[in-house]
């Protein structure tokens, strides 16, 4: 069987001592990069490019890919412990992960994140190996109308993130949509809401909003009281530092959900791991027996998004390796690396360079195992950070936030924006506005608007294009269903109440 041969060949490449070392280096660096907010895998890969010229391309690719998926493992660490999203996709992990940490289950959360990442990462590699070319063709049939439907489905998730007040959640989402539209409109080159400031022309970076609203906003809110500022509970003993069997069992569906959704969304060029995480979280909550507990610290709320953002790497490599099309900034620089090494990414690359493809696939199996082994012992170590008394921990979070934002752009203006968004985050907490819908609106708003306008340009103004194509029609129906869920629930609640009153 061709695939089996290819895989065997791949392992023979990946398991050489040299490549094992490079795989380890990549995974380790990736984890470090993922833990640090702001510094992303794309920038790290770019920095290391000159060093790779001395290496054979396969080894270099193994290392750089290690950084790419390793970063996804690391991103959850600061999200869970400090409410600081290490990477944009980790924002969703903050929601339940940080709450688990506050209740003393930090170790369990980190463990679940690692395990979910491992399962999903492996599923992603397997899928990449088995179904890459046909899925790539499927991905091509996705265009603007389908993207629009996907974004609508994503935004419909706000209903599931709402918590107590749907109105406030919707308002937060609309605010996010507004922030997303700050900048240059790319179709007409008109600047929107930039107040004449050239630094706003490209919009406000997601990282600044996420770190400001989540991390710094939370710290400021916590500083309201001096008394409540003791050390957060850090459980002792290995048993308490790792997830229990019940918790793992509860996550069965989440592991599957994260893996599948992440991979499928990863294949679409342009749809990112953040969307994958949100949708996976939303789906998990929709199918859960106790949806109201989401947001207070349930393990599935960590497993689903973490899995999604890991299998998304496998998915994103599909168009990159089979068509030479980059799906994200990290895959863009990986492609650039391939070009710089003299390879020609495109439909024929796998054919022309089977060692590279299979060696990479095999090394991803190995890498996922390495990362699991690397991360599990680190959990007790990382959890100790929570031992710091809060008057030291909080300044530390503030410092990390500043460095994280600064490393993105190095501009003072962005630091001001960070301070402004931290004030917003604090106000939102005080006034009971949920933060996740804001992030959702911010991430999806731009893409959704763009997809809608592109679709209408394609159809010359005919809205029917959105429902006449099968994939987008299906997704829009799903979105409608999700939006009607609260109505069903409310109707059901009334029905139950009526029965109780009559009985």
Partner 1 sequence: MLKNATVMAVAAAAALLSGPAAAEFKPTKPIEVIVHTGPGGGADVLGREIATLIDKEKLAPVRLQIVNKTGGGGLTAMAYVVEKKGDDHTIALFTGNWLTNPLIRKEAKVTIKDMTPIARLVLEPAVVAVKADAPFKTLKDFIEAAKKEPGKLKQSGGSLTSRDNVVRQLLMKDTGANWAFISFPGGGERIAALLGGHVNMMIIEPQEAGEHIRAGNLRVLAQVSDHRLPGFENVPTLKEAGYDVPNVPQVRGVVAPPGISKDAQAYYENLFARMVQTAGWKKYLKDNQFQDGFQKSGELAKFFDEYSERMRGILKEAGVQVVR
Partner 2 sequence: MRSADIWSGAVLAALGSYVVAEAMHWEYLGADGPGPGFFPFWYGAALIALALGLVVAAFMKGRAGEGGKPVQWNEVGRALAVCGAFAISAALLHALGFLLSFALLTAFIVCVMYGRPLKTGIAAGVLGAAAFYVVFPVALEVSLPVGMLGF
Positions in the binding site for partner 1 (CB under 8 A) = 42-43, 45-47, 49-50, 53, 139-144, 184, 186-189, 191, 194, 196-199, 201-202, 269-270, 319, 323-327, 329-336, 339-340, 342, 344-349, 409-411, 450, 454, 457-458, 460
Which entry of partner 2, partner 1, none binds 295, CB below 5 to 8 A by partner kind? none
CA distance 40 to 204: 17
449 binds partner 2 (CB under 8 A): yes
Angle at which helix 144-156 crosses helix 273-286, to 10 degrees, equals 50
CB of 422 to partner 1, least distance (A): 21
Q: Supply 369's token pair.
A: 């195992």
Q: Supply 259's token pair.
A: 């893996």
Task: Judge contact between 304 and 284, C-beta under 8 A.
Answer: yes
Site for partner 2 in 182-201 (CB under 8 A): 185, 187-188, 190, 192-193
* Residue from the set 216, 251, 435, 475 that interacts with partner 2 by CB under 8 A: 216
CB closer to partner 2 out of 35 and 127: 35
Which entry of partner 1, partner 2, none binds 80, CB below 5 to 8 A by partner kind? none
CB closer to partner 2 out of 253 and 396: 396
CB of 21 to partner 2, least distance (A): 20
Which stretch, 17-25, 176-184, 276-284, 331-339, contacts partner 2 (CB under 8 A)? 176-184
Task: Judge contact between 438 and 176, C-beta under 8 A.
Answer: yes
CB closer to partner 1 out of 48 and 166: 48
381 binds partner 2 (CB under 8 A): no
CA distance 273 to 251: 20
Which entry of partner 2, partner 1, none binds 141, CB below 5 to 8 A by partner kind? partner 1
Task: Judge contact between 396 and 124, C-beta under 8 A.
Answer: no
What Å distances lie between residue 298 and 254, 274, 484, CA to CA? 11, 20, 24
Task: Judge contact between 346 and 323, C-beta under 8 A.
Answer: yes
Task: Judge contact between 316 and 310, C-beta under 8 A.
Answer: no
Comparing CA positions, the residue from 424, 431, 425, 427 lying closest to residue 168 is 431
- SS3 of residue 318 by DSSP: helix
* Residue from the set 239, 249, 290, 430 that interacts with partner 2 by CB under 8 A: 430
Q: Supply 306's token pair.
A: 């973490």
Which H or E run contains 204?
none
* Residue from the set 7, 20, 126, 229 that interacts with partner 2 by CB under 8 A: 229
Vertex 109: Cα angle to 293 and 244 (nearest 5): 85
* Residue from the set 1, 381, 431, 499 that interacts with partner 2 by CB under 8 A: 431
Which entry of partner 2, partner 1, none binds 178, CB below 5 to 8 A by partner kind? partner 2
Within 53-165, residue ranges assigned H as helices are: 57-82, 91-102, 106-140, 144-156
CA dihedral 241, 311, 60, 2 (to 10 degrees): 120
* Residue from the set 259, 426, 447, 482 that interacts with partner 2 by CB under 8 A: 426
Task: Judge contact between 158 and 426, C-beta under 8 A.
Answer: no
Which entry of partner 1, partner 2, none binds 48, CB below 5 to 8 A by partner kind? none
CB closer to partner 1 out of 130 and 201: 201
CB closer to partner 2 out of 48 and 286: 48
* Residue 267: half-sphere exposure toward Cβ, Cα within 13 Å: 24
- SS3 of residue 85 by DSSP: coil
Can you give the three-state secondary structure of 388-422, one letter per residue?
CCHHHHHHHHHHHHHHHHHHHHCCHHHHHHHHHHH
Task: Judge contact between 340 and 153, C-beta under 8 A.
Answer: no
Which residues, in sequence order, are CB contacts of 462 under 8 Å at separation 6+? 456
Which entry of partner 1, partner 2, none binds 381, CB below 5 to 8 A by partner kind? none
CB of 483 to partner 2, least distance (A): 14
Which stretch, 20-28, 72-80, 91-99, 425-433, contacts partner 2 (CB under 8 A)? 425-433
Which stretch, 134-142, 212-220, 259-267, 349-357, contacts partner 2 (CB under 8 A)? 212-220
48 binds partner 2 (CB under 8 A): no
Binding positions for partner 2, rule: CB under 8 A:
32, 36, 39, 47, 167-168, 170-171, 174-175, 177-178, 181, 185, 187-188, 190, 192-193, 216, 219-221, 223-226, 229, 390-392, 394-396, 398-399, 402-403, 406-407, 410, 412, 415-416, 418-419, 422-423, 426-427, 430-433, 445, 449, 452-453, 456-457, 461
């Amino acid at each position: 069987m061709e695939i089996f041969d290819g895989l065997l060949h791949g392992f023979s490449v990946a398991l050489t001592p040299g490549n094992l070392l490079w795989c380890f280096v990549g995974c380790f660096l990736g984890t470090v990069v993922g833990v640090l907010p702001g510094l992303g895998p794309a920038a790290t890969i770019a920095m290391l490019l000159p060093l790779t010229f001395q290496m054979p391309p396969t080894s270099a690719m193994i290392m750089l890919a290690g950084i790419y998926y390793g970063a996804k493992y690391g991103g959850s660490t600061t999200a869970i412990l400090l409410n600081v999203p290490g990477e944009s996709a980790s924002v969703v992990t903050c929601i339940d992960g940080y709450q688990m940490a506050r209740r003393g289950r930090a170790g369990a959360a980190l463990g679940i994140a690692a395990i979910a990442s491992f399962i999903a990462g492996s599923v992603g590699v397997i899928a990449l190996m088995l179904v890459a070319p046909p899925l790539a063709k499927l991905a091509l049939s996705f265009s603007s109308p389908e993207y629009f439907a996907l974004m609508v489905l994503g935004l419909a998730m706000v209903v599931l993130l709402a918590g107590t007040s749907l109105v406030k959640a919707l308002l937060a989402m609309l605010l996010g949509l507004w922030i997303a539209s700050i900048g240059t409109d790319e179709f007409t080159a008109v600047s929107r809401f930039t107040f004449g400031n050239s630094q706003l022309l490209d919009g406000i970076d997601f990282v600044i909003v996420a770190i400001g609203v989540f991390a710094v906003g939370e710290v400021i809110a916590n500083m309201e009281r001096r008394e409540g500022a003791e050390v957060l509970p850090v459980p002792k003993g290995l048993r308490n530092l790792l997830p229990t069997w019940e918790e793992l069992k509860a996550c069965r569906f989440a592991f599957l959900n994260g893996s599948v959704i992440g991979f499928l969304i990863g294949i679409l060029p342009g749809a990112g791991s953040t969307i994958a995480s949100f949708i996976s979280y939303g789906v998990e909550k929709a199918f859960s027996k106790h949806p109201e507990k989401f947001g207070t610290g349930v393990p599935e709320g960590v497993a689903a998004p973490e899995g999604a953002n890991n299998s998304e790497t496998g998915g994103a490599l599909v168009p990159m390796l089979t068509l030479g099309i980059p799906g994200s900034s990290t895959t863009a620089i990986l492609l650039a690396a391939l070009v710089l090494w003299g390879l020609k990414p495109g439909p024929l690359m796998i054919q022309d360079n089977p060692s590279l493809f299979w060696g990479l696939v095999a090394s991803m199996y190995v890498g996922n195992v390495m990362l699991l082994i690397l991360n599990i012992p680190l959990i007790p170590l990382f959890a100790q950070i929570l031992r710091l008394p809060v008057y030291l921990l909080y300044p530390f979070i503030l410092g990390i936030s500043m460095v994280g934002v600064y490393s993105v752009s190095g501009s003072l203006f962005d630091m001001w924006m960070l301070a402004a968004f931290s004030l917003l985050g604090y106000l939102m907490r005080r006034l009971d506005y949920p933060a996740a819908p804001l992030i959702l609106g911010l991430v999806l708003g731009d893409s959704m608007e763009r997809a809608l306008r592109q679709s209408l340009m394609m159809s010359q103004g005919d809205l029917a294009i959105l429902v006449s194509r099968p994939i987008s029609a299906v997704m829009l129906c799903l979105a409608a269903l999700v939006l009607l869920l609260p109505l069903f629930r409310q109707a059901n609640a009334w029905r139950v109440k009526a029965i109780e009153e009559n009985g």
